[in-house]
Structure 1
Amino acid sequence: MRDFPLISHTHGEAVVAWRHGEPIRAARFIADVRTVAAALPPGLHLLNACSDRYAFAVTLAAAMIGRRITLLPSTYTAEAVRKLTEFAPTAFCVADSDNDGIPLPTIRYPLATLDTPDSPGTSDVPDTIDSRGGPNALDVPGAPAIASPSETLGRTLAGHRSQPFEVPRIEADRVVAYVFTSGSTGVPVPHPKTWGRLVHCVHVAMTALGLDAERPCTLVGTVPAQHMFGFESTVLLALIGAQAFDASRPFYPADVTAVLEAAPRPRALISTPVHLRSLLLSLDGQDARLPELDLILSATAPLSQELAVRAEQAFHAPLMEIYGSTETGQIATRRTTQGDTWQLMPGIHLEWREGQTWASQGHIETPTALGDLLEPRGTLDAQGHATQFALTGRTADLVNIAGKRTSIGYLNHQITAIEGVLDAGFFMPDDERPGVVTRLAAFAVAPGMTVSTLLASLRERIEPAFLPRPLVLVDALPRNDTGKLVRATLKFLYDQHVASRRHSVNTLSVPVDHPAYAGHFPGRPVLPGVVLLDEALSVISASTGLPLSACELASAKFLSPVTPGEPLTLEQRTLPSGSIEFEIRAVERLVARGTVVP
């Protein structure tokens, strides 16, 4: 039976990962993997919720050598996890933080062990490590009692690194992970990933991206390891391709910049259009430069050529986009600055039938209908298959927001399943401008419910990225004779709502004797900016129907002081993206402006 090594690093001193600027070498990685594998409780399925990329990779590899299967759901909402347990009743969770809130039996990956020296026989791990007692304490039905599994793991991780360096091998046809997509009926759909296909996927990606195991690259990712893009392009690319990943997941531009500057070269940034745009915007008006890179990888949404050009200029590195899906993995690449044509990875075949594009062969487990509309381009190969394509759109039901994918059918199922909702429908506006995150809208018939209560219930069922902005309560939905909600009708409702909310002017009422004036400042009272913003957000919430908790202030600038008794007006405009721009004036004088992101 064919098998492949767990990692492709050929000697124990090879660097697998970097954490806080310190190398973690292959020998330590393998030792940590064996220790975690020995500490895992019984149960075939493991949900890997570790946010530290090294802890994730060790837990993933430990699951493989321990003959467990890693579960990678698209969301951790209570409803999704409940459905997950129907698929895997004895599933347990490994996490590295207290705030995961996942309703599964959970053990803790002791991050304290990662800060111990990278040498055998040393341990600064405390005698007692939180073992997650209470409702999430590890209690796998039918399993023998395990005393404080997290404590056991913490005591042994740093103390068992003196074993010989020997890389385990995994059978090619063994299922090592299930990644999940959201089914239209609300039941997560599992997609098996075998080790052999994952290895093949990384090998063809290495060729397509020009990476070399003899000159390993440091991979810095802004995407989580649990996302298919992050899973393939940070963790698997490092383990199978003999590269090295940074254990962090920087989010804010300053943090991303700091991690990149510390990363050894050659180095690559694995990111998304949204994160790249944020990084480049952080340079506007600043006397600063971004670190030079050797490669940029982008995925999860199409990247505009303009943004690609700016990114290549700012980082002095080529930018490659990856095209793929949860079901297929990565299947094509393109150099965005050189055109819109995608190059298929070797072995992947596309077929056009039944109004859809199907992908098969290569590392794809089963033939898969793609959610996007593709157009063949270029010359055909010897078997008559297209090797290039252009992305021309997507099927109407699929939604991709900020790198997360779902379907309108799934969202409709979730909102109508809420008690008190008689009818509902989601709508995706036609706003595909590059760099702009388009937000979903939804219309619901829910007598006796408010927007706030309905959003709170919906938040328990779907990812925050898919929460409707706006959510509009109506008396009835205009279904046609066959009971369908036609997109054109929903668009009419949406346009009506946006037109009524797009622009409005309201009065801000701040009493002359407001207590905030006292002492701010003696002899010349001025309204504190925080009070002014609080009043503005309250008006925006009331005028749009959005709950105050959903009005997130994205930016604010104070231009002139407000003194007691000045009449104030707030002018707001709703943008196609769903963001709300506002200006506050004292008569004609502009005193503040900002943006709210629902």
Structure 2
Amino acid sequence: MSVDLFEWPDGWTEQRDASVARLADGSLLSRGHFIADVNRNAGCLQQLPGDEAVLFARGLYAFAVGLFALAAAGKRVVVAANELPATLAQLAETTSLLVTDGVPAFPGIHHRLDLVRAFSSEVDAGSREENATKQRLGALSRFGETRKCSSEAGERPWPRIKRAAPVRFFTSGSTGEPKRIDKQLGHLIAEGNAISALFAARRPDFQVVGGTVPHHHAYGLAFRLIWPLVAGLPFMDDTPEFLEQGTAQFLAGAVFVTSPAHLNRLDGLAPLPAERQAACILSAGAPLGQVAAEQAQRLLGCAVTEIYGSTETGALASRERDAAGSAWRPLPGVSVALAPSGIAEVRAAHVPGDKALLSDDLSLLPDGSFALLGRRDRVVKIEAKRVSLDEVESRLRTLDEVADAIVIALGDPARLAACVVPSAAGASFLANRGAFRFNRRLRAALASQLEAASLPRQWRFVERLPHGTLGKASHFDVEKLFDDQRPMTQRPGTSEPNIASIRAIPDGVQIDLSVPDDLADLAGHFPGMPIIPGVTQIDWAIRLAARHLGLAIEAGMSLQVKYRKLFLPGRLVTLTLVSRGDQLRFNYAEQGEILSSGSIRLPPQGGA
């Protein structure tokens, strides 16, 4: 069945001069422009081979045109999560057409979106970056005005699009491969209607929707594009990478769609004046901590509204991060219950199949709200992005330098840690260049295949992975390999450096140390010029030798130390510990240059 804009408000297509998108320079694009662009590109796409196409566009307006033009052309939309070469190459294995507003590397047919009388090639090369938006979208009006459409644009109707027009997403799966999520355009519109119902009472206060969440993410697509179209709100075309840049989108009446990855980094941001405080701030992707929620409200001017959902289900619930509490309330039209298995089940018109089981455990409350208790699978949230631990492991194992690997999540907020068995090539590189350069090499190789949130930040290199009695990898034992990075509490008033990596050497060990600038041991030493005191260097050598070499060194035993260069914080330094005979020899070196060295007499064999 074909209908005009599904359940979108009556008169949407008649009100052609109403604004649909706002560009970074303040220019506005009308619904008439949008309708004309969708029609023009749909006509071109109908002539291209294939029944599906990959869609990637940096600009939200271009993405919107591509999405609806492909649906009108009868082609499945395959939403690319990013434009990394590895991502596009994998999609190209099954899809030969890419629809885009740029020129990413893609081994197939490109359709570059034709948008609003875009400039031809007569653009001064020196001003390309400055005019990037105009090159893509064409010459537009001054701030606050919407150009009238041409007579051709004004006469063309909205194309008839099937409610069942297919849209495919990919998200992190539990098998190491991206998980395919198939939806219909009707599901996206129904989700937009549910969001619109959620904010119906506040709609008069809203004037424009912007944010830092990419529109290729299901959350960004729903809240930055579909909902604004349903609700008749213009959306911001650009997607700032950092919240500091995004504050330019903070205007009276603005809705700002963001995530904990940005709201957790507000330190140094001055409180916004009243005239630049947004009407609503949305956050999703991971729970927002109480401290970050309070800081966001204090600096940005309003309480954060959190959204709960997933790529598979769409938005399901919301909660206000104020003094009222932290329970989640289902969106209008969404019901949550426990299935006979005890697993939470959700029902909603925008969920494929009308119902789905949740991957989170939750506790239902008497008033219909619920509390989240945690995830049940190996997909973790890193900076509000879903990261499959299995996928990161799989990517590591494809590298020539890696024979095997286990990846785990550590800490709160979570960070990825990788335990790697080097191949022969990897072991050679490790021996010759060191662990720090080896993990940089592995990260660089992964960076072309994975997004930044999926790159491990901590590393261990071992001869074989810890395994249980049945041959299954022992994640508990892997975690123990990273225990030495936790702050020492045995001696109040002292502190230790962070340990980047550890490797065995004949009769000893080498440990790469990263020393933070705010180390407690720096307090009171050499005011105005923080350096690592000699007594601290000796203390670290003794404590780390006890931990990694099993040496017990008594206080007061004789030692000799020679200091050659200043040991400064904020740098990577390698500590070498070698135990031979009755002496422990140690040295600290930076990029192969010795900073200090010394020896400590060990107790007689059998002594304490």
Normalized against structure 2, the TM-score is what?
0.70
1:473 aligns with 2:449: no
Amino acid at match of 1:62: A
Question: Match of 1:276?
Answer: 263
Distance 1:477 1:59, change over 3 A: same
**Partner AA of 1:400 in structure 2:** K
1:104 shift after superposition: 4.5
Structure 1 residue 348: deviation in Å?
3.3
Residue 374 of structure 2 is aligned to residue 393 of structure 1: yes
Tell me the residue number matched to 2:100: 94
Q: Could you say if the C-alpha distance between residues 362 and 505 of structure 1 is closer, same or farther in structure 2, counting changes exceeding 3 Å?
A: closer
Which of the residues 261, 265, 276 maps onto 1:291? 276
Task: Give the secondary-structure state (helix, strand or coil) at the position aligned to 2:158.
Answer: coil
Cα deviation for residue 423 of structure 1 reads: 1.8
Percent of aligned pairs with the same amino acid? 26
How big is each residue's C-alpha offset from its partner over 1:333-391, in whole Å with a ceiling of 9 and x where there is no partner?
Answer: 11121211101122333334546433334311034333322111123xxxxxxx32101
Aligned AA (1:21): G
Map of 2:285 onto structure 1:
300
The question of 1:49 aligning with 2:34 is answered: no
Distance 2:16 2:400 in 1: 57
What's 1:232 paired with? 222
Q: How does 1:145-160 map to 2 (within 5 A)?
A: none
Residue 108 of structure 1 is matched in structure 2 by: 112
Say if 1:503 and 1:572, in contact at 8 Å, map to a contact too: no
Aligned partner of 2:496 in structure 1 is 503
Partner of 1:484: 472
Structure 1 contact 213–242 (Cα < 8 Å) conserved: no
> Which position in structure 1 is the counterpart of 2:19?
15
Asked if structure 1 preserves the Cα contact closer than 8 Å seen for 2:272 and 2:299, the reply is no
Aligned residue for 1:530? none
Q: Distance in 2 between matches of 1:271 and 1:349?
A: 25
Partner residue of 1:126?
Answer: 120
Q: Secondary structure at the match of 2:477?
A: helix
C-alpha distance after superposition, 1:295-325 (max 9, x if no partner): 1111111112333233234333342111010
**Whole-Å Cα distance in 2 between the matches of residues 315 and 493 of structure 1?**
41
Residue 191 of structure 1 pairs with residue 181 of structure 2: yes
Displacement after TM superposition at 1:228 (Å): 0.9
The letter of the residue matching 1:335 is E
Question: What is the DSSP-based 3-state SS (H/G/I as helix, E as strand, rest coil) of the residue aligned with 1:5?
Answer: coil
Shift in CA distance, 69/154, structure 1 to aligned 2, threshold 3 Å: farther
How far 1:283 moved relative to its partner?
2.5
Report if the CA contact (8 A) 1:209-1:320 is conserved: no
Counterpart code for 1:27: G
CA distance in 2, matches of 1:258, 1:361: 36
Helix, strand or coil for the counterpart of 2:328? strand
With over 3 angstroms needed to count, the CA separation of the structure-2 counterparts of 1:206 and 1:219, relative to structure 1, is same
The two structures have a TM-score, normalised by structure 1, of: 0.71
- Report Cα offsets for 1:476-514 as digits up to 9, x if no partner: 1110121112222111112135579x93499xxxxxxxx
**How far, CA to CA, are the matches of 2:397 and 2:566 in structure 1?**
42
Q: Residues 255 and 210 of structure 1: is their aligned pair in 2 closer, same or farther, counting only changes over 3 Å?
A: same
Q: What corresponds to 1:407 in structure 2?
A: 388
For residue 124 of structure 1, report the CA deviation from its aligned partner: 6.6
Aligned pairs, number:
479
1:315-394 equivalent positions in 2, closer than 5 A: 315-337=300-322, 338-345=324-331, 346-352=333-339, 354=341, 356-366=343-353, 367-379=355-367, 387-394=368-375
Which amino acid in structure 1 is aligned with residue 49 of structure 2? P
Which runs of structure 2 are paired with 1:163-202 in the superposition (5 Å)? 163-164=154-155, 166-175=157-166, 177-202=167-192
Gaps of 5+ in 1: 115-122, 131-150, 380-386, 507-541, 554-558, 575-586, 588-598
1:505 touches 1:571 (CA, 8 Å); kept in 2?
Answer: no
Q: Which amino acid aligns with 1:304?
A: G
Q: Structure 1 residue 129: deviation in Å?
A: 9.4
Whether the 8 Å CA contact 2:174–2:379 is kept in 1: the answer is no
**1:459 aligned residue:** 447
Secondary structure at 1:33 match in 2: helix
1:38 aligns with 2:43: yes
- Please name the residue that 1:207 is paired with: 197
State the Cα distance separating 1:174 from its structure 2 match: 2.7
1:289 positional shift:
7.0
What corresponds to 2:421 in structure 1? Answer: 445
Ranges in structure 2 where 5+ consecutive residues have no aligned partner? 125-134, 140-148, 431-437, 489-494, 500-509, 518-526, 531-562, 573-594, 596-608
- Cα displacement (A) at 1:570: 1.9
Question: Contact 2:97/2:111 (CA < 8 Å) preserved in 1?
Answer: no
Change (3 A) 1:52 1:543: farther
Q: Distance in 1 between matches of 2:228 and 2:209?
A: 8
Over 3 Å counting, the alpha-carbon distance change for 1:216 and 1:560 in structure 2 is closer
Instruction: Kindly indicate whether the alpha-carbon contact (under 8 Å) linking 1:47 and 1:72 is maintained by their aligned counterparts in 2.
Output: yes
Aligned 8 A contact 2:55 2:80 in 1: no
Secondary structure in 2 aligned to 1:235?
helix
CA–CA separation in structure 2 for the residues paired with 1:212 and 1:236: 18
Q: What amino acid does structure 2 have at the position aligned with 1:274? A: A
Contact 1:349 1:361 in 2 (8 A): no
Partner of 2:69: 62
TM-aligned CA deviation for residue 420 of structure 1: 4.4
Give CA deviations for 1:235-266 in whole Å, capped at 9, x if unaligned. Answer: 111122221101111233442222324xxx42
The equivalent residue for 2:588 is none
Output one character per residue of 1:447-485: Cα deviation in whole Å (capped at 9) or x when no partner. 331424333333333222111111221111110121112
Larger Rg: 2
1:5 counterpart residue number: 5
Q: Corresponding residue for 2:552?
A: none
> Secondary structure of 2:216's match?
coil
Write the deviation string for residues 120-160 of structure 1: whole angstroms up to 9, x where unpaired.
xxx57226799xxxxxxxxxxxxxxxxxxxx99999xx978
